[in-house]
Structure formats: structure tokens, C-alpha cells
């Protein structure tokens, strides 16, 4: 009886292996630089003879990216060209390039839909959107190795006397982008304040400008960039050392894609690509 159970288990395991081989045949690999999107044979994307490092792609030869495109300097729409631009856009383009893939962005999505969208699969291969690696998100998706460190900031109108203490009051409206770590920080650290999650960072900052909100909690590099470039009448009243790290979100069903992305990031660190992208967007390597 025990023997037959073992045989059954073996057959199940063999079946699972065969299944993964079929999957691998539909995917790309770290050497699939010559794959073409005109091919009708989906298996042609796997150029490597070894199926061990194969990954799947939504579209052959293409790394399909989803993001919330209102988070300068990480990702925003260039109004003139209609193309996404930013630090993350440069990073993911370089990653795709290293993998021999084209990079294609899906239309803008709300931030709090990105992780569920990657978890669900079928629409995008990766999401890069200044997404902080958190334990909660790691239950839904895998992340690449961290590619940037970050913190939070409290933003208020210039000359404001608000502090973390004064904001922790039900009469105070503290805005954030919904579903972000800034949102979590308010909930945990300003439990008495009225937390207002919104979709759009620019709308949130405009609301702080007009007095609709008393303050905003947002990623520090975004606060710095937006205040320098568009909101000169706002100030960072406190920097919060949350010690966050950004990662690229990838489906748990596609572990070899995470490996290939990590390999590309590693190469970008050692060959100076990452340094030059950091210098381009932040003036120096940070
Ligand atoms: N880093 C923050 C988070 O992951 C904010 C990201 C964003 O708004 N694009 O929640």
C-alpha cells in the first residue's frame, strides 16, 4: 500500500514536471534575444536549449510593463510625446535591453491595482512603479532585488506650523495616494487624523496648496522633485526614515523571469548603467 502511494506520488511529480516543460516551451529565456514578435509559433521564443531558465511573456519578444504614470521623477507621461518617462522607465528599458526584449507600457493604471494585476497574470509581465517591497505585497507577488532606497515625507504649505503631533487630530485632513506605504504610515502613525486616500499625487498636492488638506504623506524623492519643479509654495515639514526599498513586481508563477530581471539589474550595476540612470535623474549616484 505504501509502495503504491509512492508510485502515485512519483507519477504526480513526473506529471508536474512535464507540465512545466510545456509552459517553458511557451516562454522566453535569458538568451531569447533573437525572438520575433511576428512569429505565430509561441514556442519560438525559447531560444535556449535548456528549459530550466525559461520564463513566460505576455507577448513574445516583449517585456510588457504596467505602472501608475503620475509619480515623477519615477514615471510620468511626457505630454508632448505621449510616452512614459522617468527613472523607472529608464531602468526597465535597460533591463529589457539586457534581456534582448522590447519594452512596452500598458495604459496608466491606478497604483493600488498594480500588485493585484501582476498577481492575476495575463496582462503585464512586470510592474515597476516605485513599488516598495513589503511583506504584505510579497504574499501576492515576487519582487526583484531592490533597485533603490527610499523614505517618506510630510508635505505642507510653506510657513505651516503643522508637525506630526498637530496632524494627529480628527480635524486634520492628511492626504496620500491610496494603497501606498504613505497611506499605511498615516494609518499607523497618525491614527487620530482623517486620512484621505486619493488616486492622483498631483491632485493631492494641489489640494494641499489650496488648503483642502493640511498635509500629504508621499515618497521623499517624489516630494523633493514635485516641490522643486511644480509646487514651490509647498515644503517638506518632516522626512520620515522608513527605510523602504523599491523592487520590480513579477508573478509568483514566473520565477525565472524574476531571475532574469535580477541578472539584468546585476549587470546594470556592474557595468555602470544604473549609475548613469541615477545621475541623469538625481544628479549623482545615491
Ligand atoms: N513607494 C510607495 C509604495 O510602494 C508609493 C509608490 C507609488 O505611489 N507609486 O506604496
143 and 164 belong to one structural domain: no
Indicate if ligand 1 lies below 6 Å from the C-beta of 130: yes
Query: In this model, does residue 32 exceed pLDDT 80?
Result: no
In a domain, 170, yes or no: yes
Would you say residue 273 lies in a domain?
Answer: yes
In a domain, 208, yes or no: yes
Mean pLDDT score, 248-270: 98
Question: Is there a domain that residue 1 lies in?
Answer: no
Q: Answer yes or no: do 16 and 125 share one domain.
A: yes
- Which residue's CA is minimally distant from atom 5 of ligand 1? 180
Does residue 183 belong to any structural domain of this protein?
yes
Residues 26 and 89 in one domain: yes
Pair (240, 251) in one structural domain: no
Work out the percent of the chain whose per-residue pLDDT is above 90.
80
Is the beta carbon of 53 within 6 A of some atom in ligand 1? Answer: no
DSSP line for the chain: -HHHHHHHHHHHHHHHHHHHHHHHHTSB-TTGGG--TT-S-GGGG---S-STT-B--SBTTEEEEE--SEETTTEEE-TTT--EESHHHHHHHHHHHHTT-EEEEPSP--HHHHHHHHHH-SS-SEE-SSPBP-HHHHTT-EEPSP-EEEEEEEEEETT----HHHHSSTT-EEEEETTSHHHHHHHHH-TTSEEEEES-HHHHHHHHHHTSSSEEEEEHHHHHHHHHHT-TTEEEEEEEEEEEEE--EE-TT-HHHHHHHHHHHHHHHHTTHHHHHHHHHHSS--
Let me know if 150 is exposed, middle or buried by CB neighbors in 10 A (0-12, 13-18, 19+). buried
| pLDDT tens for each residue of 160-208 | 999 999 999 999 999 999 999 999 999 999 999 999 999 999 999 999 9
List, for residues 92-130, the tens digit of each pLDDT value. 999 999 999 999 999 999 999 999 999 999 999 999 999
Contact 133, 246 (CB under 8 A): yes
Do residues 192 and 112 share a domain?
no
More confidently predicted of 63 and 22:
63
Interhelix angle for 87-98 vs 255-270, to 10°?
100
CA distance 72 to 39: 36
Task: Report the pLDDT value the prediction gives residue 51, as an integer from 0 to 100.
Answer: 54
Best residue among 117, 127, 130 to mutate for probing ligand 1's pocket (most ligand atoms within 8 Å of CB) is: 130
Pair (167, 110) in one structural domain: no
Same domain, 186 and 85: no
40-58 per-residue burial string, b: 16 or more CB within 10 A, e: under 16: eeeebbbeeeebebbbbbb
Q: Are 36 and 178 part of one and the same domain? A: no
Question: 61: domain CATH number?
Answer: 3.40.190.10
171 and 100, same structural domain?
A: no
| Ligand 1: centre distance to CA 57 (Å) | 25
Check residues 30 and 211 and name the one with the higher pLDDT.
211
- 181 in contact with ligand 1, CB cutoff 6 A: yes
Q: For position 53, what pLDDT does the model report?
A: 80
**Counted domains in the chain:** 2
Per-residue pLDDT band at 71 (split at 50, 70, 90): very high
Identify the pLDDT of residue 34. 36
Q: Is 180 in the pocket of ligand 1 (CB under 6 A)?
A: yes
Residue that wins the pLDDT comparison between 149 and 45: 149
Same structural domain, 140 and 260: yes
**Ligand 1 atom nearest residue 74's Cα:** 9
Question: Ligand 1 centroid vs 115 CA: distance in angstroms?
Answer: 11
First to last CA, the chain: 62
Answer whether residue 224 is part of any domain.
yes
CA atoms of 229 and 231, how far apart (whole Å): 6
pLDDT at 52: 66
- Whether residues 194 and 257 share a domain: the answer is no
203 or 40: which leads in pLDDT: 203
Looking at the fold, whether 63 and 88 belong to one and the same domain comes out as yes
Tell me, using a 6 A CB cutoff, whether residue 131 lines ligand 1.
Answer: yes
Is 87 touching ligand 1 by the criterion CB < 6 Å? Answer: no
Q: Is residue 2 part of a domain?
A: no
pLDDT, averaged across the chain: 86
Domain extent at residue 210 = 150-244
Q: Which atom of ligand 1 is nearest to the CA of 131?
A: 4
Amino acid at each position: 500500500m505504501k509502495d503504491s502511494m509512492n508510485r502515485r506520488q512519483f507519477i504526480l511529480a513526473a506529471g508536474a514536471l512535464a507540465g512545466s516543460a510545456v509552459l517553458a516551451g511557451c516562454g522566453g529565456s535569458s538568451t531569447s534575444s533573437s525572438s520575433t514578435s511576428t512569429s505565430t509559433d509561441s514556442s519560438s521564443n525559447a531560444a535556449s536549449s535548456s528549459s530550466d531558465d525559461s520564463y513566460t511573456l505576455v507577448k513574445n519578444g516583449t517585456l510588457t510593463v504596467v505602472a501608475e504614470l503620475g509619480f515623477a521623477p519615477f514615471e510620468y507621461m511626457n505630454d508632448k510625446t505621449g510616452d512614459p518617462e522617468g527613472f523607472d522607465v529608464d531602468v526597465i528599458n535597460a533591463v529589457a535591453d539586457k534581456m534582448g526584449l522590447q519594452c512596452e507600457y500598458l495604459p496608466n493604471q491606478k497604483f493600488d491595482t498594480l500588485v493585484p494585476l501582476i498577481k492575476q497574470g495575463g496582462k503585464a509581465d512586470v510592474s515597476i512603479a516605485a513599488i516598495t517591497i513589503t511583506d504584505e505585497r510579497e504574499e501576492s507577488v515576487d519582487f526583484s532585488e531592490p533597485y533603490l532606497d527610499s523614505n517618506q515625507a510630510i508635505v505642507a504649505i510653506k510657513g505651516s506650523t503643522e508637525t506630526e503631533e498637530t496632524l494627529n487630530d480628527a480635524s486634520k485632513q492628511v492626504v496620500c495616494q491610496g494603497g501606498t506605504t504613505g497611506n499605511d504610515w498615516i494609518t499607523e502613525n497618525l491614527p487620530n487624523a482623517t486620512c484621505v486616500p486619493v488616486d492622483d499625487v498631483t491632485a493631492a498636492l494641489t489640494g494641499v496648496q489650496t488648503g483642502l488638506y493640511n498635509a500629504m504623506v508621499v515618497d521623499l524623492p517624489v516630494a523633493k522633485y514635485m516641490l522643486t519643479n511644480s509646487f514651490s509654495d509647498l515644503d517638506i515639514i518632516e522626512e520620515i526614515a522608513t527605510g523602504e526599498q523599491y523592487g520590480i513586481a513579477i508573478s509568483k508563477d514566473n520565477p525565472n523571469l524574476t531571475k532574469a530581471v535580477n541578472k539584468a539589474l546585476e549587470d546594470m550595476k556592474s557595468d555602470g548603467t544604473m549609475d548613469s540612470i541615477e545621475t541623469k535623474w538625481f544628479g549623482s549616484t545615491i
